[in-house]
Structure 1
Amino acid sequence: MFEEFPEESEWDVVVIGGGPNGLMAAAYLAKAGLKVALAEARYEIGGGLATEEILYPCYSSNPHVIYHMMVDYMPVIRDFNLDGPALAWIKPNSQTGMVFEDGKSLLLTRMIEDTKDSISKFSFKDAVNFGKVMRTWRRIVDEIVAPATYVPPMSPLDLSICMQRTKIGQEMLELVEQSPLDIITDTFENDRVRALMLYASCMWGLDPRETGLGFFVPLLLTRGMNKCYCYGGSHKFASAMAREIVKAGGLILEHAPVSNIIIENGRVAGIELAEGRTLRSKVVMSTLDPHTTFLDLVGADNMSADLKEAIEGWKYDKWSYYTLHIASDEPPHYKCDDPWINEAFMTVSGIESTDQLLAHWDNVVAGNISDNFGGHATCESIFDPTLSDIPGKSISFFQMHAPYEIEGGWDKRGEELKEAILGKWQKAAPNMTRDNIITTTFETPVDIEIRFPNMRRGSIKHGDYRPIQMGCFRPNQECSSTATPIEGLYVCGVSTYPGGL
Structure 2
Amino acid sequence: MRELEFDGIVIGAGPNGLTTAGYLAKAGLKVAVLERRYEIGGGLATENLLLPGMLVDSHAIYHMMVEYAPPMRDFELETRYDLQWIYPDVQVVMPFKDGTYLALYKDPEKSAKSIAKFSEKDAEAFRNFVQWSDEAMDIFLAPASYVNPLPSIEQAAKLENHPATKWDDELTGYTPKQIVDAWFENDKVRALFLYLATMWGLDYDLEGLGYLVPLMINRGWHFRLSRMGSHHVAHLLGKYISENGSRVISGCVIKRIVIENGEAKGVELDDGTIIRAKKFVCSGLNPHQTFYEYVGKEYLSPELITRLDQWHYSEMSFFTVHLALTEVPQFTAIKNDPELANALIYVVGYESEQDLVDHFEASKRGELHDGGFNCCFPSIHDPIRVHRKAGSEVKHIGLISMECAPYNLKDGGAISWNQKRRSYAERCKKILEKYAPNMNEKTILWDYIGTPLDTENKFPDMKNGCFKQGAYLPLQMGYMRPNEYCGQHDTPIKNLYMCGACTHSGGMITYGPGFNAAEKIAEDLGIQKWWPEPRGVKEAREAGLF
Q: For 1:286, which of 269, 283, 287 is the aligned residue?
A: 283
Residue aligned with 1:325, SS: strand
Partner residue of 1:172? 168
What's 1:198 paired with? 194
Q: Distance in 1 between matches of 2:425 and 2:339?
A: 27
Counterparts of 1:88-167 in structure 2, within 5 Å, are: 88-167=84-163
Q: Distance in 1 between matches of 2:233 and 2:464?
A: 26
Q: How much has 1:456 moved relative to structure 2?
A: 1.0
Counterpart check, 1:417 vs 2:424: yes
CA contact (8 A) 1:461 1:499 kept: yes
Task: Output one character per residue of 1:120-140: Cα deviation in whole Å (capped at 9) or x when no partner.
Answer: 111111001100111011111
Q: Give the partner amino acid of 1:334.
A: F
Whole-angstrom CA distance in 2 between matches of 1:177 and 1:151:
24
1:232 Cα deviation after fit:
0.3
Task: Give RMSD over aligned pairs.
Answer: 1.2
Distance 1:270 1:482 in 2: 17
8 Å CA contact 1:284, 1:490 repeated in 2: yes
- What amino acid is aligned across from residue 461 of structure 1 in structure 2? K
SS of residue paired to 1:13:
strand
Task: Report the TM-score, using the length of structure 2 for normalisation.
Answer: 0.89
Q: Deviations over 1:15-60 (max 9, x none)?
A: 0000000111111111110011010000110100010011122111
* Aligned with 2:224 (options 211, 224, 228): 228
8 Å CA contact 2:315, 2:464 repeated in 1: no
Instruction: Return the offset for 1:340.
Output: 3.3
Q: Distance in 2 between matches of 1:261 and 1:331?
A: 49
The within-5 A match list for 1:291-302 is 291-302=288-299
Match of residue 25 from structure 1: 20
8 A contact 1:176–1:213 mirrored in 2:
yes
Greater relative contact order structure (CA < 8 Å, 6+ sep): 2
**Deviation of 1:186 (Å):** 0.4
Output the CA distance in 1 between the equivalents of 2:98 and 2:249: 54
The reply to whether residue 404 of structure 1 matches residue 407 of structure 2 is yes
The farther-off stretch of 392-401 and 241-250 is: 392-401
Shift of 1:412: 2.2
Return the match for 2:461 from 433, 441, 454: 454
SS in 1 for 2:50: strand
Equivalent residue of 1:326, what SS?
Answer: strand
DSSP-derived class of the 1:453 partner: coil
Please show how residues 31-110 of structure 1 align to structure 2 within 5 Å: 31-84=26-79, 85-110=81-106
Residue number in structure 1 paired with 2:385: 387
2:323 to 303, 322, 326: 326
- AA of the residue aligned to 2:365: A
- Helix, strand or coil at the partner of 1:413: helix
Amino acid at match of 2:296: G
Provide the C-alpha distance between the structure 2 equivalents of 1:460 and 1:354, rounded to a whole number of angstroms: 25
Q: Secondary structure at the match of 1:56?
A: coil
Once residues 229 and 129 of structure 2 are traced to their aligned partners in structure 1, the CA distance between those partners, rounded to angstroms, is 34
When normalised by structure 1's length, the TM-score is 0.97
Which range moved further: 159-168 or 9-18?
Answer: 159-168
Distance 2:262 2:494 in 1: 7
Counterpart code for 1:120: A
Aligned residues: 495
The one-letter code of the counterpart of 2:395 is K
* Separation of aligned partners in 2, 1:370 and 1:166: 43
Larger mean Cα displacement after TM superposition, 119-128 or 174-183: 174-183
Native 8 Å contact 1:20 1:238 kept in 2: yes
Q: Name the residue aligned to 1:375.
A: 373
1:430 lines up with 2:428 in the alignment: no
Which range moved further: 236-245 or 142-151? Answer: 142-151
Aligned-partner residue type, residue 139 of structure 2: E
Please say if 1:185 is aligned against 2:187: no
Q: Is the 8 A contact 1:52 1:61 kept in 2?
A: yes
1:205–1:318 Cα contact (<8 Å) kept: no
SS of 2:49's equivalent in the other structure is strand
SS in 2 for 1:54: coil
Instruction: Give the letter for the 2:186 counterpart.
Output: N
State the 1:211 CA deviation.
Answer: 1.7
C-alpha separation in 2, matches of 1:251 and 1:448: 27
Aligned counterparts of 1:285 and 1:258: Cα–Cα separation in 2: 13
Q: Deviations over 1:275-309 (max 9, x none)?
A: 21111113100000111111100111111111111
The one-letter code sitting in structure 1 at the alignment partner of 2:332 is K
- Contact conserved, 1:90 with 1:229, CA < 8 A, in 2? yes
Alignment check: 8 A CA contact 2:318 2:452 kept: yes
Unaligned runs of 5+ in 2: 509-546
Deviation at 1:498, TM superposition (A): 1.1
**Cα offsets for 1:198-242 (capped at 9, x unmatched):** 000101110111121111111111122101110000110000001
TM superposition shift of 1:165: 2.0
Note if contact 2:17-2:500 (Cα within 8 Å) is conserved in structure 1: yes
Task: Give the letter for the 1:214 counterpart.
Answer: G
Counting aligned pairs with the same residue, the percent is: 40
Distance (whole Å) between structure 2 residues aligned to residue 419 and residue 151 of structure 1 = 44
Distance in 2, matches of 1:498 and 1:411, equals 33
Separation in 2, partners of 1:312, 1:10: 33
Are the equivalent residues in 2 in contact too, given 1:334–1:341 (CA < 8 A)? no
Quick one: distance in 1 between partners of 2:61 and 2:369?
Answer: 27
CA drift of 1:377 comes to 0.2
